[in-house]
Chain A
Amino acid sequence: MEYLVQQLINGLTLGAIYGLIAIGYTMVYGIIGMINFAHGEVYMIGAFISIIAFTILGPFGFASPIVAIIIVLAVALIFTSVYGWAIERIAYRPLRGSFRLAPLISAIGVSIFLQNYVHMLQGAKMKPIQPVVRGGFVLAQEGTFVVQITYLQIGIIVATVALMAGFTYLIQRTSLGRAQRACEQDRKMAALLGVDVDRTISLTFVMGAALAAVAGLIFTLYYGAVDFFIGFLAGLKAFTAAVLGGIGSLPGAMLGGLLIGLIEAFWSAYFPIAYKDVAVFGILVVVLIFRPTGLLGRPDIEKV
């Protein structure tokens, strides 16, 4: 029982990271109908910028970990957003109006480019940092097994919930969010109402990148080490999360991320850990057989 609770906590933390990345996939898909395969790499860049910022801050001594994290967060948000914006501007916008697969191929190209770019600049080795946040609450103890939730895990879950709430508000209630949803449904019509579609799409990429930066920072804090390849699998799983929840649906991406995190944690707890990815993708396949539009995706009903 204690073990189960511990895995639940771990799974939620992992799910928060996947959920944050998945939102980037689902939003971009929603607005331009394309899977941004470079998004996992944007997350990796966010993690790297975080680790670089922490390393630079190190010699100054962290007055308090919270101040350090806020500074690093700001730096990571800014730089990663610029990457997200630039990717759209350079690799996707010129291909808009081209055939459907062109931006997809371009996305794969960007993904390979970014991996190698970071590989060249930062090397292939894991980059570690000292733990920034230590300690936690002990919830229960059974013999030598301690169920604990660390301060970091609390912070991650709280931050993720807050971000997702803020984001839902942004999409549902602000004029930018309305413009985004309008562009999703009919881009030309939105332009005819005076919405700057190109800018709206750019902002979508920037927002996705910002959330990926937060996910990257969380990963850095949680695992304490980063390499150039983390974007690949995390990106793939976040994409899976977006599809599982129903691609194009914001709550779906959050739910999907959470589910994937929990599945992974529980599978690792009770079954051979080497097969955890098989479990994740296996469940995706099963869900898609019975609900092709994902858990929260609304099927388009075609009128005849």
Chain B
Amino acid sequence: MSLLTVEHLTIRFGGLVAIDDVSFAAEDRRITAIIGPNGAGKTTVFNCLTGFYKPDVGRMCVAADGQEWLLERMEGFRIARDAGIARTFQNIRLFPKMTVLENLLVAQHKALQRASMFSLAGLVGAKSFRLAEQAAIERARGWLERCKLVHVADDEAGSLPYGAQRRLEIARAMCTGPRILCLDEPAAGLNPAESAELAALVRSVRDEEKIAVLLIEHDMSVVMEISDQIIVLDHGRKIAQGRPDEIRANPDVIRAYLGTDEEAVAAP
């Protein structure tokens, strides 16, 4: 069984069918890209997975460690805490008035709360709490290093430049210790050098952390380079699925993107 199985996912907003009977699976140590023209329903899929929207039809199941979680039945914070889904946003959502380090520590709330017995131990400065706090800071430092943010660790997150905020969002998502990482257009607004760096980061996450990565991205060079599997959505429907080379050659995909017939596109 796959780590994440989505079956017959359907959601309507009034008369608009935003996602229409979409099924797919994602494995750990694989990058699954979701691509499609604007308005295809990519972000809506993420919003369903993370509990923002409740789907009208469909099943979303995370299976790991001999347990199963049905996401459509879970409260938002449990999806993150228990099923282990972390995400980033197209329009960055950091805690702008907290420091970079604090942003990463909030992400480790679950472990810290348990160690501090809901902060009672934290107040009296118990050893278990200090050790847990230390471990959390170590982990945060590890991600700060990987994301090249160590020098700004004590700055307010809101004051960072755009590219750094993008990286911080990924670091924060990883600090929750997820099974599945959902990246919503992580390369948007980055220059080519930053995009390449980001691709390397995402790939290293896949290879070293034993997690599944779901990736929404418009930058096709990034998608084609790092994805193991690509799912193409158009008007809420899944029109193709396969390896990057298969997708590149798929006539339906080309039609969806360019709205014209094949000969016209084959030119370049």
Query: Nearest CB to that of A197 among chain B residues?
Result: B77
Assembled-state Cα–Cα distance A185/B95 (Å): 6
In-complex Cβ contact of B105 among A175, A185, A190, A194 (8 A): A175
Bound-state CA distance A75–B87 (Å) is: 44
Question: What 1/0 flags go to B76-102 for Cβ under 8 Å of A?
Answer: 110011000011000001011110001
Q: Which chain B residue lies CB-closest to A193?
A: B107
Residues of B with C-beta under 8 A to A176: 113, 116, 118-119, 122
With both beta carbons as reference points, the residue of chain A lying nearest to B182 in the complex is identified as A192
CB-CB nearest in chain B for A178: B106
A188 close to B (CB within 8 Å): yes
B193 to chain A, nearest CB (A): 26
Which chain B residues lie closer than 8 Å to A181 at the CB level? 95, 97-98, 102
In the complex, per-residue mask of B110-147: 1 if CB is within 8 Å of any chain A CB, else 0: 10110010110011000001000100000000000000
**Cβ–Cβ contact B123 & A175, under 8 A:** no
Q: For A193, what are the chain B residues with a Cβ–Cβ distance below 8 Å?
A: 80, 86, 106-107, 109, 172, 176
A194 touches B80 (CB 8 A): yes
Of A41-49, A103-111, A127-135, A166-174, which stretch is located at the interface? A166-174
- The smallest C-beta distance from A97 to any residue of chain B, in angstroms, reads 13
How far, in whole Å, are A191 and B77 apart by their CA atoms in the complex?
Answer: 4
Q: Are A166 and B123 in contact (CB under 8 A)?
A: yes
* A178 touches which of B76, B80, B98, B123 (Cβ 8 Å): B98
Give every chain B residue within 8 A of A196 (Cβ-Cβ): 77, 81
Expressed in whole angstroms, the minimum distance between the Cβ of B181 and any Cβ of chain A is 12
Size bin of chain A's contact surface = 20 to 34
- A191 in contact with B112 given A166-B123, A170-B123 (CB within 8 Å): no
Task: Judge whether B50 is part of the interface by a CB distance below 8 angstroms.
Answer: yes
The answer on a CB contact under 8 Å between B86 and A191 is: no
Bound-state Cα–Cα, A173 to B101, Å: 12
Whole-angstrom CA separation of A196 from B81 in the bound complex: 9
The answer to whether B76 and A188 touch across the interface, beta carbons within 8 angstroms, is yes
- Does A51 touch B at the CB level, under 8 Å? no
Please measure, in the bound complex, the distance between the C-alpha atom of A178 and the C-alpha atom of B116, giving whole angstroms: 13
**A182 in contact with B116 given A192-B87, A193-B86 (CB within 8 Å):** no
A window 17-48: CB within 8 A of B: none
Question: What residue in chain A is nearest B77 (Cβ atoms)?
Answer: A191
Q: Is A236 an interface residue (CB 8 A)?
A: no
Residues in A with CB closer than 8 Å to B50 are 192
- The answer to whether A186 has its CB under 8 Å from any CB of chain B is yes
The count of A-to-B residue pairs whose CB atoms sit within 8 angstroms is: 86
Q: How far is the CA of A185 from the CA of B156 in the complex (A)?
A: 13
Q: Does A189 touch B at the CB level, under 8 Å?
A: yes
Q: Which of B76, B77, B86, B105 has the most CB of A within 10 A?
A: B77
Other-chain residue from B51, B97, B106, B116 in contact with A195 (beta carbon distance below 8 A): B106
Does A224 have its Cβ within 8 Å of any Cβ on chain B? no
Q: Report the minimal beta-carbon distance from A285 to chain B, rounded to whole angstroms.
A: 28
Q: Are B95 and A175 in contact (CB under 8 A)?
A: no
Max count, chain A CB within 10 A of own CB: residue among B52, B105, B106 = B106
Encoded as 1 (CB less than 8 Å from any A CB) or 0, chain B from 162 to 183 comes to 0000000000100010000000
Chain A nearest CB from B43 CB (Å) reads 14
Which A residues lie within 8 Å of B106 (CB)? Answer: 175, 178-179, 182, 190, 193, 195
- Min Cβ gap B163→A in Å is 18
- The listed residue (B80, B102, B118) touching A191 by CB distance below 8 A is B80
- Taking CB atoms, residues of chain B closer than 8 Å to A166 are 123
> Chain A residue with minimal CB distance to B172?
A193
A292 at the interface (CB under 8 A from B): no
Would you call B93 and A189 a contact (CB within 8 A)? yes
Residues of chain A from 181 to 236 with CB closer than 8 A to chain B in the complex:
181-182, 185-186, 188-197, 203
> Could you say which residues of chain A place their CB within 8 Å of the CB of B119?
170, 174-177
Contact A186 B95 (CB under 8 A): yes
**B76 contacts which chain A residues (CB < 8 A)?**
188, 191-192
A181 to B112, CA, bound (A): 15
Interchain CB contact under 8 A, A173 and B80: no
Which chain B residues border A185 with CB–CB below 8 Å?
95-98
Contact B95 A189 (CB under 8 A): yes
A182-B98, A192-B50 given as contacts; is B105 within 8 A of A174 (CB)?
no
12 A-B pairs within 8 Å (CB atoms) are namely A170-B123, A174-B123, A175-B106, A175-B122, A179-B109, A182-B98, A185-B96, A193-B109, A193-B172, A194-B81, A195-B77, A203-B118
Instruction: Please list the 5 inter-chain residue pairs (A to B) with the smallest Cβ-Cβ separation, ordered nearest first.
Output: A194-B81, A175-B112, A176-B119, A174-B122, A194-B80
Give A residues with C-beta under 8 Å from B: 166, 169-170, 173-179, 181-182, 185-186, 188-197, 203
| Other A-B pairs beyond A192-B77, A203-B118, 18, CB < 8 Å | A174-B119, A174-B123, A178-B105, A178-B109, A182-B95, A182-B98, A185-B97, A189-B93, A190-B106, A192-B76, A192-B86, A193-B80, A193-B86, A193-B109, A194-B80, A194-B176, A195-B109, A196-B81
